[in-house]
């Protein structure tokens, strides 16, 4: 415990006088001797005693003021203290440096300077600090509560009982925004303990990472109190969290861990589901990992304005309302599933990220990949009947296969050499590829070795930092113990090939039917096979599993062989004998246990297609049916084979009664639809093809009608029904449009929404698409009145479905209106929905170009949302004229995108891939579809 407290009167006095005595530290123009992007290693923080006074009464002047006592140890002699500060006003007159436990001696401070490039605040000292000594640095500071949705910022909601705006404060410090709330060593490897004091009006509640220890009245500020929290466990600055609000909560959990779910008071009835499953998931992870949750309380709180989906702050997890709050009879079952998955993800982070933290952001996947994979296991524990393990695995793999096939993708673990590069790493690679690689590792090692390796990794690194080599060491021991890999193999060699290089392999399986041999090789898969790169010489340690038409062994996915990588030798082929008889198929990658695509010789595709298009299609495991569809469609997309094979294969879907192959197929076909719909003649034949395969299954599931109630069918069957209805309405199949419009008009006339909850998003979009201005305005009014965030998200998406270009142009203006008809956190998704509507795409494209300055100001210089808008536009561009417009925009506004070059490169590559696909495939597809139609 620190020897002294910050004087209460000093902070309250600063609040009262508006901090007028402060000196703003200006950037120093002198050359700096230290310009490295990482902090010097001469100091190690031990304890922050942080006091923050927040006043929320005056909306025109929402400020905070604070003071920090930072106890640190000197690891090597130094004559300066370098730490992070961003957009804080420091009161230099009150800066003090003392030796720990020596109040009488103040150390001389020469000057203070800022190095803006790295947010360094450098305090130069008159004499050097001595190695192994402990010192206390005191700094006073202030800043506005910002509206950028990161750092220490403000949020609000409308209290409908009083018709007043209620304000609250909240933090979002990941990855590097703690420095904008208090001076700190803002890197993940600088773990320290925190003692947090929050000053606030006594009518409000203060929350932080740790339980409340006590409250003290502030004599100098009547009506104000200090909420003083227990000292924290060691943690990184990005996990620090605090809030001042007037929220209510629901308690759950056991006596050991106080578990509370918080929301604005009028949304409390939406907290029940999260409060129910949170403690169950926490207990599941405790048992799975063999380590108890180390805190005495855990709060989860729904924030009205929150940029991320959620944030795993230790003991105070923050969420968007859409990812925590579930309203019975309003929120859908897909909303319930999403909420369960996000809560499971954040609770998994309490071990992967919080208890054991990556040393540097290069290994972000150790946090996000693990949390993503473990959340799948957590939700499956809660609801095994949802059958989510296979679906989540496929969803992750689909995301990786698409993103990582871009030339401009990046390795899972890649050097990060500037703070500005960190945000771009929160992407598909860190989350989904990280998860998919862990699933593959789980399959290689088996249940016992995998979880024993995890427990060992967590135990030896708890309350500390780790890197991926620590993980590989833990797994190698267990892999050898359980004989899952050969004695000469090690997990580092195997797994580095997946985490340290970009991309993933296409495994080529070529059979010689006369000699009964199979030749197997690999190359990198790219979305355009004609792209000229050096990546074909890449090599992955690829685990091979397979079965045949005779064996049909899909229960065993053990690695039977490896495609190895020898030093200096790439793409080593292996030859296997007597795997299958001449007339039977062979199938590699059982249950998609490895992260790779497979391409076969033409005859093997024919044999597989023959089985799928027969009454024996169930002989192939459902995951591998989805795999075959995905591989075939993507191989045709990339130019590795023509479209005859996948389109012939997809005929079997008329009899497919499982959700996963349909989900996979329609994901792939949506990419074709996205581009082909710009060409009326071939698209007419393509839409007929889609209707032909969709109609039998749509009818078998009773279409959009509600004769099958959600409570009478499984979750996965309900999702299948809704997926088919969504496409049927899109393609104007059967009675789908008429049913949707009928539902909508009944609601409009009676003002009682009797539309089945799970079909509402389909009904809303279809009715708006085929409706008039009055229908749009009716839905817009419902959006303004809604108290349920999940419903609001559906309404926002549906409003973009109109075919009225005038309405859509006005809608874009409303999306970015500062009156907050639509919250900033939802604006990029709303704009993306408008972009995907071919009626409004030209308007949206022009809006981005013409309003780029206003949009940059709207989001702020450090937000990724501007690149999200760019990516949305890029996905729809199909010609050189539009590409030139975007390139011109990027050239003019280079500074706006300089921190997101990877995202910009991917957007430009997407456009080039779109144009290339159209040039290669439009005529060929038309010929195939015309021929099929005439044969039918």
Q: Which residues pair with 199 in a beta bridge?
A: 53, 226
The two tokens of residue 307 are: 């940029």
Which is nearest to 45 in space by CA: 183, 223, 207? 183
* Total residues found in the chain within this entry: 936
* H-helix segments, 383-515: 388-403, 428, 434-445, 447-461, 468-481, 491-499
Cα–Cα distance measured from residue 915 to residue 470, given in angstroms and rounded to the nearest whole number = 44
Q: Which DSSP state fits 7?
A: P
Q: Which residues of 398-412 are buried (b: 16+ CB within 10 A; e: fewer)?
A: bbbbbbbbbbbbbbb
Torsional class of 463: left (φ above 0), alpha (ψ -120 to 50), beta (otherwise): left
**How many other CB atoms sit within 10 Å of the CB of residue 801?**
25
Burial class (CB in 10 A: 0-12, 13-18, 19+), 274: buried
Dihedral of CA 690/695/698/700: which sign? negative
Cα–Cα distance measured from residue 575 to residue 508, given in angstroms and rounded to the nearest whole number = 12
User: E strands within 583-724?
Assistant: 586-588, 597-600
**How many other CB atoms sit within 10 Å of the CB of residue 672?**
23
Cα–Cα distance measured from residue 128 to residue 107, given in angstroms and rounded to the nearest whole number = 10
Is 368 marked within a binding site? Answer: yes
Q: Which DSSP state fits 273?
A: H
Cα–Cα distance measured from residue 658 to residue 674, given in angstroms and rounded to the nearest whole number = 25
CA 879 centroid distance within chain: 30
Cα–Cα distance measured from residue 50 to residue 468, given in angstroms and rounded to the nearest whole number = 33
Is residue 342 within 8 Å of 268, Cβ to Cβ?
no
Written as one string, the DSSP assignment of 499-554 is HSSSS-EEEEEEEETTTTEEEEEEEE--SSTT---GGGG----EEE-EEETTT---
Cα–Cα distance measured from residue 424 to residue 119, given in angstroms and rounded to the nearest whole number = 19
Per-residue HEC secondary structure of 26-56 comes to CCCCCCCCCCCCCCCCCEEEEEEEEEEEEEC
Is residue 698 within 8 Å of 726, Cβ to Cβ?
no
190 three-state secondary structure: coil
Q: Tell me the backbone φ, ψ of residue 294, rounded to 5 degrees.
A: -85, -5
Cα–Cα distance measured from residue 856 to residue 849, given in angstroms and rounded to the nearest whole number = 11
User: E strands within 313-379?
Assistant: 316-320, 356-358
Q: Catalytic amino acids?
A: 346
Which is nearest to 267 in space by CA: 245, 248, 243? 248
Is residue 298 within 8 Å of 257, Cβ to Cβ?
yes
The annotated binding site is made up of 345, 349, 368
The annotated binding site for Zn(2+) is made up of 345, 349, 368
């Amino acid at each position: 415990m620190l020897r002294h407290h910050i004087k209460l009167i000093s902070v309250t006095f600063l609040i009262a006088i508006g901090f007028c005595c402060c000196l703003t530290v200006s950037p120093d123009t002198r050359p700096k001797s230290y310009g490295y992007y990482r902090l010097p290693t001469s100091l190690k923080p031990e304890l922050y005693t942080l006091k923050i006074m927040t006043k929320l009464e005056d909306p025109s002047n929402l400020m905070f003021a604070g003071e920090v006592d930072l106890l640190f140890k000197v690891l090597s002699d130094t004559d300066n203290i370098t730490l992070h500060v961003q957009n804080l006003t420091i009161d230099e007159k009150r800066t003090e440096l003392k030796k720990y436990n020596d109040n009488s001696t103040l150390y001389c401070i020469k000057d203070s300077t800022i190095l803006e490039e790295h947010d360094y605040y450098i305090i130069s000292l008159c004499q050097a600090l001595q190695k192994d000594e402990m010192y206390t640095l005191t700094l006073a500071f202030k800043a506005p509560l910002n509206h950028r949705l990161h750092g220490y910022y403000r949020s609000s909601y409308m209290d409908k009982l009083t018709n007043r705006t209620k304000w609250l404060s909240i933090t979002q410090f990941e990855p590097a925004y703690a420095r904008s709330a208090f001076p700190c060593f803002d890197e993940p490897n600088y773990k320290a303990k925190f003692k947090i004091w929050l000053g606030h009006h006594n009518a409000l509640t203060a929350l932080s990472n740790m339980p409340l220890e006590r409250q003290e009245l502030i004599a100098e500020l009547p009506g104000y109190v200090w909420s003083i929290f227990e000292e924290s466990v060691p943690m990184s600055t990005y996990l620090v969290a605090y809030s001042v609000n007037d929220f209510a909560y629901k308690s759950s959990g056991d006596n050991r861990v106080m578990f509370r779910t918080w929301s604005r008071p009028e949304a409390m009835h939406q907290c029940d589901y999260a409060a129910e499953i949170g403690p169950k998931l926490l207990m599941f992870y405790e048992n799975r990992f063999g380590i108890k949750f180390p805190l005495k309380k855990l709060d989860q709180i729904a924030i009205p304005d929150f940029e991320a989906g959620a944030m795993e702050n230790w003991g105070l997890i923050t969420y968007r309302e859409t990812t925590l709050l579930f309203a019975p009879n309003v929120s859908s079952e897909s909303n319930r599933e999403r909420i369960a998955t996000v809560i499971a993800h954040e609770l998994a982070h309490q071990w992967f990220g919080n208890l054991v933290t990556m040393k540097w952001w290069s290994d972000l996947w150790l946090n996000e990949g693990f949390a993503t994979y473990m959340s799948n296991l957590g939700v499956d524990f809660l609801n095994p009947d949802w059958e989510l393990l296979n679906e989540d695995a496929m969803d992750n793999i689909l995301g990786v296969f698409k993103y990582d096939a871009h030339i401009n993708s990046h390795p899972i673990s890649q050097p990060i050499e500037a703070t500005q590069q960190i945000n771009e790493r929160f992407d598909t690679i860190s989350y989904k590829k990280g998860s998919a690689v862990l699933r593959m590792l789980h399959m290689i090692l088996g249940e016992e070795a995998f979880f024993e390796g995890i427990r060992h990794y967590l135990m030896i690194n708890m309350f500390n930092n780790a890197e991926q080599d620590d993980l590989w060491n833990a797994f190698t021991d267990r892999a050898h113990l359980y004989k899952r890999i050969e004695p000469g193999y090690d997990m580092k060699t195997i797994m580095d090939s997946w985490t340290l290089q970009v991309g993933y392999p296409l495994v080529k399986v070529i059979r010689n039917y006369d000699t009964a041999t199979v030749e197997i090789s690999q190359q990198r898969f790219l979305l355009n096979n004609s792209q000229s790169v050096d990546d074909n010489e890449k090599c992955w340690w690829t685990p091979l599993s397979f079965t045949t038409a005779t064996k049909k062994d899909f229960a065993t996915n053990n690695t039977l062989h490896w495609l190895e990588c020898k030093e200096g030798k790439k793409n080593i082929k292996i030859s296997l004998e007597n795997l299958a008889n001449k007339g039977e198929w062979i199938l590699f990658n059982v249950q998609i246990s490895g992260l790779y695509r497979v391409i076969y010789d033409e005859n093997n595709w024919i044999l597989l297609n023959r089985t799928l298009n027969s009454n024996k299609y169930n002989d192939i495991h459902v995951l591998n049916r989805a795999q075959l569809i995905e591989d075939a469609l993507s191989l045709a997309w990339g130019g590795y084979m023509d479209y005859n094979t996948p389109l012939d294969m997809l005929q079997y879907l008329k009899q497919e009664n499982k959700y996963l192959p349909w989900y996979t197929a329609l994901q792939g076909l949506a990419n074709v639809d996205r581009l082909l719909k710009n060409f009326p003649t071939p698209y007419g034949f393509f839409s007929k093809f889609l209707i032909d395969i969709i109609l039998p299954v749509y009818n078998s599931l009773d279409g959009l009608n509600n004769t099958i109630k959600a409570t009478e069918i499984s979750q996965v069957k309900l999702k299948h029904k809704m997926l088919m209805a969504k496409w049927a309405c899109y393609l104007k199949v059967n009675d789908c449009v008429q049913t949707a419009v009928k539902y909508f008009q009944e609601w409009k006339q009676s003002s009682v929404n009797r539309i089945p909850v799970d079909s509402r998003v389909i009904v809303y979009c279809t009715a708006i698409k085929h409706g008039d201005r009055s229908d749009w305005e009716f839905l817009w009014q419902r959006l303004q009145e809604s108290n349920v965030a999940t419903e609001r998200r559906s309404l926002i998406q549906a409003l973009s479905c109109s075919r009225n270009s005038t309405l859509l142009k006005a809608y874009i203006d409303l999306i970015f209106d500062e009156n907050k008809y639509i919250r900033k956190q939802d604006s990029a998704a709303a704009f993306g929905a408008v972009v995907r509507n071919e009626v409004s795409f030209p308007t949206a494209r022009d809006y981005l170009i013409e309003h780029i300055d206003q949009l940059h100001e709207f989001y702020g210089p450090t937000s990724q949302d501007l690149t999200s808008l760019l990516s949305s536009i890029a996905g729809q561009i199909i010609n050189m004229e539009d590409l030139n417009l975007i390139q011109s925009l990027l050239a003019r506004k280079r500074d706006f995108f300089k921190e997101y070059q990877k995202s910009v490169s991917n957007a430009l590559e997407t456009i080039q891939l779109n144009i290339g696909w159209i040039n290669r495939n439009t005529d060929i597809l038309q010929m195939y579809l015309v021929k099929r139609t005439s044969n039918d």
